Every structure is written in structure tokens, then in C-alpha cells.
A = this chain, B = another copy of it.
């Protein structure tokens, strides 16, 4: 269970690699750090949802939800699936879920209070 530790005795290449990873991670975190997007992702953890469903679930306007989904889509966090007129979104992989689990544990544990 080692940590993402950076030490002075690492080679420049190693440091550089880590910085690149940091850029990627930063983008990912920026994507999920928006309250609306965070909520959307939370809802998607329990399974596919249509845009309209999400619109109701997070009480936001259609265009706003679509924009947030667009951002998440570009960032590779969610994937759309068309079924007739409606488009269903789901998590692209378990990355968001993995992070959300921890975030939930840290901030939402005592929801019943």
C-alpha cells in the first residue's frame, strides 16, 4: 500500500512521468469536482440513466445537464447509448465509481443525521 510519494532522489524522467499523470488526474478531478457533475455521476453509479431522467433527478435544466454530460463525455467518464429518441448515459469505467466511493465515505457517511 505505497503512496504517490515523490522523493528528491528520483530521476527527471520519473518526475516528468508523474507530472504527466498529475495532469491527467487533475483533468479527471476537475471533471468530477463540479457539484452538478458529481451528482450526475452518483446517479449513474446505480446504472444507466437518460438525459431527461437526470434532468429530473438533479433538478437542473435540460441544456445544463446536456452540457455537463458533454463535458463528462469528452473527459471519457461517461458513455452514451442511443435507444430511439432517448440517449442513455452510463459510466465509462470504474474510475469515477472508485473515487466516488472514497468521497462518499469521507463526506456522506452520516447522511442520516
Using a CB–CB cutoff of 8 Å, the interface residues on chain A facing chain B are 1, 3-8, 14, 17-19, 21-26, 28-30, 32-35, 38-39, 42-43, 45-46, 57, 95, 97-108, 111, 113
Contacts and interface: CB of A to CB of B under 8 A. Distances in A.
Nearest to A27: B33
Looking at chain A's contact residues, is the secondary structure mostly helix, strand, loop, or mixed? helix
Contact of A103 (B14, B19, B46, B99): B99
Contact of A4 (B7, B17, B33, B42): B42
A52 to B, nearest CB: 13
A103 B35 contact: no
B34 A26 contact: yes
A107 B27 CA distance: 11
